Structure 1
C-alpha cells in the first residue's frame, strides 16, 4: 500500500507539528518567519548573509516592520532561529522561498537567486515536504524552472511524494494596517494536491488564504496587481507633466477628482518609482510576452514615463535655480529622503539615487538627509546622511523633497530654506503660492 504523504503532511501542518524553514530572510522572509513562529511553528530562517542570522539569533531585528521584541521573544521560546546552512532542510517539512528577483542591466529577469535556492534545497528534498515559492516572477517560473530542478535531482514525484506551489508576496513595507498576517494570501499549486497541502499550511498562520487553480494564475495575479499600480502611477506622472505645461496645479486636480465616490482611484505623482515590486514586476511580464511575440504596450509606456520622472525633477530644480540667477553647477543641493517611500529604510530602486546622480552630472554639490538611511552605498555612489538637518537646510541653495517622511518638521524646513522643490506635495497648503516653493 502506497504511503499517503499528502495526508500525513496535512496532519502535521494543521497540528503545528511540522518544522518550517524560510529561505531568504529579508523584507519578505523575516516577517513571514515571524508570523509562522507566532502561529506555533518551529521555524528556521536560512540566509547566506551570516551577520543577519547572527543578529536574528541574538534576538535582534534588522527590519523596521518587525520589532526586536518580537524576535527576542520567539528566539527565547525556541520557535525561531537563523542559519546559513541548507543542510538543516533534511529535517524540515515545509519551506518558503523568499529570495530577490531583480532585473539585469539588460532588462532581463535575474532568476539566479531562485535557481540557487532551488539547487541548494534539492539535495535535501524528501518525501512529505512542501515547497512554496514567494519570489515575484513571470508566469511559468515555478513549473518550468523550479520543478525540474527539484524533480531531476531527487527523483520524487510532485503532487505525490512532495508538493510545490507559488504564493506571491504582498508585503508593503511600512504599513501598519495591512501586514503579512492579515493581507490575503493567494496560493496556486502545481497539482491540486500541492494547492491543498500549501493552503493547509498557510491557513495556520495567515488570516485569509485564496487558493487558485495553478501556479501560473498565482504568478500572474502578482504581476497584475503591480502592473495596475505602475500604469496608474505612470498616468498620474504624465498628468503632472501635462499640468506643468498648462500651468495647472496637478495636486488640486487630483484632490478634486478624488471627491468622486465611484469610478476613480486616487494615485499621486512623484519623482519616479521605487521598491522591489512596482518598477520591476511588470517588466517581468513584458519580457515574458516578448517570447510569445506580443508587445505589452501599456507596461512599456508607463515604464518610459516613470523612468523619465527623475529627469523631470532635475529640470524643475534647474529652472527654479535659474529663476534665482544661479546655475545648477556649483550649487549646494540637499536631497530630503533617500528611501523609495515614506517612513521606511528601503533604498531599493529609489528615485532619489537617480536624482542625485543626475544633479551630480550637472555639477551640483549634492548632500542628502534621511532619518532611516544613514549611509548610501550603491554602485559608484557613496554618501553619508548629513548629521545636522536644519544646518544643511539653511546652507542649501535648494532643498529637494524626494521622500515625504513624517518625521520631518516641514514648517521649520520651509522657514529655514531658501528654495524648495517639493516632489511629493509634502508641504501641502504651506507650499501653495509660496514664492520659494516649486511643486511637481
Structure 2
C-alpha cells in the first residue's frame, strides 16, 4: 500500500475521513444520516435543488426519516449541495443513484455514468469510490474503473474502488441501515480493506467477497430470487382463482410446514426500484455470454401481466353489476408499492391507474402516505389523495385495494363500499368483495 492510501486508511480508521454521498434518495439519505450519527463529516450531493434546500432547512422528504434526524445530522456537520466541485473535499465517495431501464427494458446506466463524469474533474489521489447502485456483474471494472484510469487513477495503487450493494427495506421496523449485513467487494485486496474500514463505522456486520463482480451478482441473486418466487405465487393465484380457491388461505396453511417452504404473498404486480428492474440487468448481460435466462424472463412476464389481470377482474366485477369501466368512478386505495411507506417507485398501482384511464374510468386515489401524486419520469396524474369519509365511499362504483396500508379502516370499507376488488387478500370474499 503506497503512502497516499496509507494516509487514506488512517483517516478512515480514525473517523476523520469526510464521506460524500451522491444521490440523496431512499438509499443515499439514510446512509448519509447513519454516517453522520456515528460522528463522521458528511457532504450529500444531488442534482435536485429541492432536496438540497429541504435538507438544508432541517426538513425531510422521506416519511420514515424524521426532521429531527435531519436536524441532528445538520448539527453534526451534514451538508447538502448541488456543487459537484466539492468532491475534492471528501475522502470517500459513495454513489447511490438510480439504475432504471430504458424504453426497451434494457439497463440505463446514465445516472451512474453522469455522476462519475461530474466527479472526475475533481477526483484526486487517495480517494475511495464506492458504487451502491444495483447493476450487472462487471459494471465496476468495465465501466467505472477505465474512466478513472484514463485520468491516471488506478484502483489499488493511488485510489480505491469497491462495489457494495444497498439493502434498504423501507417500512421494515426491525432492520435499519446499520442492522442489515453489508456485502462488499473490492477491485483489489487493498480496495476491499479500505472499503471495509469505511463501512464498519456505520454497519454492524460486513460480508466481504472476492471481487466487485461477485458483489454485483449477489445483489441480483437476492432480488431475482424474490422476483421468481413472487412470479410463481402470482401464477398460483390465477390458477387458484379459476378453481374457486383462496390462495391466501393456501399460503397460510403451507407456511405451517417448518421446513422447505418460504411464504411469498401475491399481489397486483411488482413494485419498488429493485425487484421489477434488477432481473433485466442480468438477462441483458447474460446475452453477451450467449445465455438465455428463460426461467427469469418467464417470471418477469408473469409479474408484468398482473396489473392487466387486476383490470380484467375489475371489468368482470363491474359487468356483474351492469356497468363498464368507461365512465365508472374508481378509487385506488394505496399508491405506494408496499404498505406503510411513502415510496411509489414502479408501483403496480400506478400501472393499474393508467390501464383504467385508457379504458375511460374516472379515477381517484387515497394514500395518506402520499398526499399528492408524485413526479415520475414516465407517469403523471394531476391528483391529490382523497379522504376516506364513510358517506362518500358509496359514490365510487369500485374501490381497488392496491396497497394494504394499516391506516385504512377495512371494516368501514366493507360496510360502505358498493364493490371492492382486493388485490392483497386483506378482506374475506363477500357480497361486495372480489379477490384479484
Matches within 5 A, 1:360-375: 360-375=357-372
Deviations 1:75-118 (A, max 9, x none): 0232x110001111112111100011000011111101111111
TM-score when scaled to structure 2?
0.97
User: Structure 1 residues 42, 248: closer, same or farther in 2, change over 3 A?
Assistant: same
- Rounded to whole Å, the distance in 1 between the matches of 2:395 and 2:347 is 25
Paired with 2:392 and 2:49, the residues of 1 have a C-alpha distance of: 36
Shift in Å, 1:332: 1.1
**Which whole-Å CA distance do the structure 1 matches of 2:215 and 2:392 have between them?**
47
- Measured after TM superposition, the shift of residue 57 of structure 1 is 1.3
Tell me, yes or no, if structure 1 residue 439 matches structure 2 residue 429: no
Superimposed CA distance per residue, residues 306-336 of structure 1 (whole angstroms, 9 cap, x where no aligned partner):
0100111011111111122222221111110
Q: CA deviation at 1:380?
A: 5.5
Counterpart CA distance in 2 for 1:407 and 1:385 is 17
Instruction: Return the match for 1:277 from 266, 274, 277.
Output: 274
TM norm structure 1: 0.96
Aligned to 1:83: 81
Task: Give 2:288's aligned residue.
Answer: 291
Query: SS state of the match for residue 262, structure 1?
Result: coil
The answer (yes or no) to whether the contact 1:64–1:174 under 8 Å persists in 2 is: no
Give the SS at the match of 2:414: helix
SS in 1 for 2:381: strand
One of 219, 223, 243 as aligned partner of 2:220? 223
Partner of 2:350: 353
What is the deviation of 1:257? 0.4
* Alpha-carbon distance in structure 1 between the residues aligned to 2:193 and 2:2: 17
> Residue 45 of structure 2 corresponds to which residue in structure 1?
46
Map 1:255-334 → 2, pairs under 5 A:
255-334=252-331
1:392–1:214: structure 2 CA closer, same or farther, 3 Å change rule? farther
Cα RMSD (Å) of the superposition? 1.3
The answer to whether structure 1 residue 58 and structure 2 residue 57 are counterparts is yes
Counterpart secondary structure, 1:335: strand
Confirm or deny: 8 A CA contact 1:59 1:71 kept in the other structure: yes
Q: Within the alignment, does 1:149 sit opposite 2:161 as a pair? A: no
1:101 alignment counterpart = 99
**In structure 1, C-alpha distance between the alignment counterparts of 2:25 and 2:385, rounded to whole Å:** 27
Deviations 1:110-129 (A, max 9, x none): 10111111111112221211
Distance verdict in 2 for CA 1:293–1:370, change over 3 Å: same
Counterparts of 1:383 and 1:123, CA distance in 2: 40
Number of the residue aligned with 2:176: 179
**Which position in structure 1 is the counterpart of 2:167?**
170
The correspondence for 1:120, drawn from 97, 118, 121, is: 118
Any unmatched runs of 5+ in structure 1? none
Name the CA distance, whole Å, in 2 between partners of 1:35 and 1:394.
46
Does residue 208 of the first structure (1) align with residue 205 of the second (2)?
A: yes
- Residue 361 (structure 1) shift: 1.9
> How far 1:9 sits from its partner (Å)?
1.5
Task: Please give the secondary structure, in 2, of the residue aligned with 1:282.
Answer: helix
Q: What residue in structure 1 maps to residue 27 of structure 2?
A: 28
Measure, in 2, the Cα distance between the counterparts of 1:407 and 1:128. 49
Task: Report the CA distance between 1:360 and its aligned residue.
Answer: 1.8
What is the distance in 1 between the residues matched to 2:367 and 2:234? Answer: 24
Mark the runs of 5 or more structure 2 residues left unpaired by the alignment.
Answer: none
SS class of match (1:424): coil
Q: Counterparts of 1:3 and 1:106 in 2: how far apart (Å)? A: 45
